Amino acid sequence: MTLQQLTVHHIRNLKHVDIFPGQGVNIFYGDNGSGKTSLLEAIHFLATTRTFRSRVAEPLINHDETSATVFGRLEDQDGTHHALGVSRDRQGQREVRIDGQRQFLASQLAELLPLRFIGPDSVQLLTGTPDQRRQYLNWGMFHVEHGFWSVWKQANHCLRQRNALLKLPKINRKELLVWTQSLAQADEHLHHLRQQYISQLTPVVTQLVEELLDRKGFELAYHPGWSSGRSIAEALEQQTEADIERGYTNSGHHRAEIRVKLAGQEVQDTLSRGEMKLVAWAMLLAQGRLNDLADGREVCYLIDDLAAELDPERRDRVRKALMASRAQIFVTTVTRETEADHWPGTTQQLFHVKQGGIEQEDV
């Protein structure tokens, strides 16, 4: 899928922007604070209705305005065109339209415009909370594992129902058993899908870690969210009384975790921040590469400040990995010289970002 036109209204300091990106590499350069990252944020908002900077969307809206809107025109592999529109106001109300029809699920946007944001803070995939790594898994499985979305929704529904019962002062044991059994069934199915996805993902990440760092021995250690050696049904049964005492379910898919290791040691204990950043980037690039292999749909990459904390050789390695895909790429940089002419064999578009405006220039 290619983003052919992007129109932005009132996203941070971008008052009104209308650009026509190219299929290949789109380079946005300008001073710090000019709006380069905000442009990437607008694309992310179009595909997800969310910002990658925080959990709160309200700061995304320009401080002089009451709402923000992003519109995009897409073309898929067979030449079919789609029009996407997303708006959000300060009260949190959002509106999503696809081809003029109002939609209520943001997942429909993600299907049409799969994208991965890669920036200096992507290292939090390794150093952040387990929830961030579960979100990483969910993104990949949503795009690759058919049936994941319905199973994941069912597992979360059962978990909410069971937790609601556990909070009651007087618990209906029969009803609790019903929701416990339903949760166990959904979690086992989700666990199987996660194992399957990890087995497909690991060799792709391993190859990219070798390409970017020249390091071998990469491992994704997956933990399902309950003790190994027993099923989730057994874990839930054995922990029923403790869960009643706590008022919530302590084991299950919502406790799953992946730990990233090199040569048997967790990367946080052995690698520098710059090296961890490249491992995290390899993990994100691998999801795009696996997605391409699975159904032929290219992932759009948003690359913020590629030059930060990377020496020229490693920048070139990242560029080479990106150019190996057929992806549409949006990359930001402070000076045009940093990125211009560093993407050999690709079609390039160059944009100058200044004071919240964007002008296209000759490459």
Torsion from C-alpha of 208, 346, 25, 128, nearest 10 degrees: 10
**Amino acid at position 330, single letter:** F
The residue length of the chain stands at: 363
Tokens of 344: 């050999």
Bridge partner list, 259: 221
Interval 33-88: pLDDT, tens: 889 999 999 999 999 998 887 666 678 888 888 999 999 999 887 788 999 999 99
Average pLDDT over residues 257-263: 92
What is the chain's mean pLDDT, rounded?
91
- Which class in CATH covers the domain with range 1-114+297-363? alpha beta
pLDDT of 56 reads: 65
Ranges in the chain annotated CATH 1.20.1050.90: 127-287
Q: Which fold has domain 127-287?
A: Glutathione S-transferase Yfyf (Class Pi); Chain A, domain 2 (1.20.1050)
Q: Which amino acid is at 239?
A: Q
CA distance 59 to 74: 27
pLDDT > 60? residue 23 = yes
Query: 69 in the Ramachandran plot: left (φ > 0), alpha (ψ -120 to 50) or beta?
Result: beta
Look-up of token digits 């993990």: 283
Report the 10 Å Cβ neighbour count for 105: 11
Residues of the chain with CATH 3.40.50.300: 1-114+297-363
pLDDT at 295: 60
pLDDT on residue 27: 95
**Per residue, what are the HEC states of the chain?**
CEEEEEEEEEECCEEEEEECCCCCEEEEECCCCCCHHHHHHHHHHHHHCCCCCCCCCHHHECCCCCEEEEEEEEECCCCCEEEEEEEEECCCCEEEEECCEEECCCHHHHHHCCEEEECHHHHHHHHCCHHHHHHHHHHHHHHHCCCHHHHHHHHHHHHHHHHHHHCCCCCCHHHHHHHHHHHHHHHHHHHHHHHHHHHHHHHHHHHHHHHHHCCCCEEEEEECCCCCCCCHHHHHHHCHHHHHHHCCCCCCHHHCEEEEEECCEEHHHHCCHHHHHHHHHHHHHHHHHHHHHHHCCCCEEEECCCCCCCCHHHHHHHHHHHHCCCCCEEEEECCHHHHCCCCCCCCEEEEEEECCEEEEECC
Are residues 338 and 16 in contact, defined by beta-carbon separation less than 8 angstroms? no
pLDDT (mean) for 163-179? 95
Q: Which two tokens stand for residue 72?
A: 């995009």
Alpha carbon separation from 26 to 39, 180, 327, 352 (Å, rounded)? 12, 50, 11, 11
Give the global pTM: 0.91
290 within 8 A of 325, measured Cβ to Cβ: no
Residue pair 7/86 in contact (Cβ under 8 Å)? The answer is: no
**Is the pLDDT confidence value at 292 over 90?**
no
Triad 72, 77, 83: Cα angle to 5°: 20
pLDDT tens per residue across span 76-128: 877 889 999 999 998 888 999 999 999 888 888 888 899 999 998 899 999 99
Question: 144-148, 170-174, 278-282, 320-324: lowest mean pLDDT where?
Answer: 144-148
